[in-house]
Amino acid sequence: MDFSKFVWTREPEQYTVSPDAIEVVTKPHTDLWQRTYYHFQNDNAPVFQMETSEKYFSFVVKTEFQESHHRFDQCGIVMYLDSENWLKASVEYENKSFQHLGSVVTNHGYSDWATTEIDASVKTMWYRFSRREDDYCIECSNDGMTFSQMRICHMYLGGGKIRFGIYACSPEDSSFRAVFSSLQMTECQWKAHEGQKPD
């Protein structure tokens, strides 16, 4: 992908962008979350995104997080429209036994969090983010070839021009190096539904 089309929202203090990869060193106490359950708002994680009006596409990226070691350390894909409308998917470190592979969807200022537990030894994850107009699909993969669905969602402000890309953060007192590679934008791999016809 042409990284010259990408723009930082909250540029990190330490990062490198090369033709093959992007590396980000997270800063402590950075996160994306809105209100639900915790009743606080965190909106200071760096995101690196490009803009598109394309209605049907897929975005694939490989993430590596060998150094993640503290609760909630995370890196992954993001579609950040504004502080109250965004989605993200990542592996969030929990402890030496397990991590949370999950996604957050935030519409109109309220976040949710859908997760499954994976072993703490996992230090690489691929994601595929697909758009069909204002509906979205997030998938994950261990090898970049076979993807499994994590979530299908609707974004209320996601019907027009959007921004999408990558993010990394450390919500607590921690820091780690996140590496993003093999970024590509392709034809939409999320095929039209073949079952019940639309109303």
Query: DSSP characters for 109-154?
Result: TEE--EEEEEETT--EEEEEEEEETTEEEEEEESSSSS-EEEEEEE
Residue 157 DSSP one-character state: T
* Residue 30, in any domain of the structure: yes
**How high is the pLDDT of residue 34?**
96
Q: Which residue has the tokens 């397990």?
A: 98
Give the domain range for residue 131: 3-186
**What's residue 127's pLDDT?**
98
Examine residue 83 and state whether it is found in any structural domain, yes or no.
Answer: yes
The 10s digit of each residue's pLDDT in 95-140 is: 999 999 999 999 999 999 999 999 999 999 999 999 999 999 999 9
Task: Please say whether the beta carbons of 188 and 130 come within 8 A.
Answer: yes
pTM for this prediction: 0.96
Domain annotation covers residue 33: yes
Does 198 reside within a domain?
no
**Does residue 172 belong to any structural domain of this protein?**
yes
Low-confidence ranges of the chain (pLDDT < 50): none
Q: What is the number of structural domains in the chain?
A: 1
**Residue 81 maps to which CATH number?**
2.60.120.200
Per the CB < 8 A criterion, the answer to whether 11 and 1 are in contact is no
The confidence score (pLDDT) of residue 38 equals 86
Q: What's the rounded Cα separation, in Å, for the pair 33 and 39?
A: 10
The pLDDT assigned to 196 comes to: 79
Residue 133 lies in a domain: yes
